[in-house]
Amino acid sequence: MGNLSAGAFLVALSGIVIVFLMLAVLCLMIPVISKCVRMTQKEASPAPAAVPTPAPAAPAPAPAGAYGGEVALIDVDEKTAACIMAIVSHETGIPLSELVFKKIKAL
């Protein structure tokens, strides 16, 4: 490992002391800077006036010929139909909630 002279030891020790002092300075500066930024943001943007929120609109009526949500299963049990729906959703990358299945028929 070699000889560790007194000069090398003092250089290493002073480096460690400087690093810890700088960390302490940064620790003290962060809250001060944070408070300054908050103060400037409060001055720059005054509190917004109370804006009345519009009443929620009634849901739009379903367009003519809209699908009711029933799936016609022809020669297919519910478990198989659920698997087919999941596979189609996975392969296409479309969420299952956005897909519309009208009829599932065994071939």
- How remote is the C-alpha of 62 from its chain's centroid? 32
Residue 66 pLDDT grade (very low, low, confident, very high; cuts 50, 70, 90): low
Residue 59 pLDDT grade (very low, low, confident, very high; cuts 50, 70, 90): low
Instruction: Show the tokens assigned to 99.
Output: 């897909």
**Are 71 and 102 spatial neighbours (Cβ–Cβ below 8 Å)?**
yes
> How many helices and strands in the chain, by DSSP H and E?
2, 2
Beta strands in the chain (DSSP E): 72-74, 103-105
38-61 average pLDDT score: 65
Instruction: Show the tokens assigned to 89.
Output: 């959703």
Residue 41 pLDDT grade (very low, low, confident, very high; cuts 50, 70, 90): confident
**pTM, entire model:** 0.38
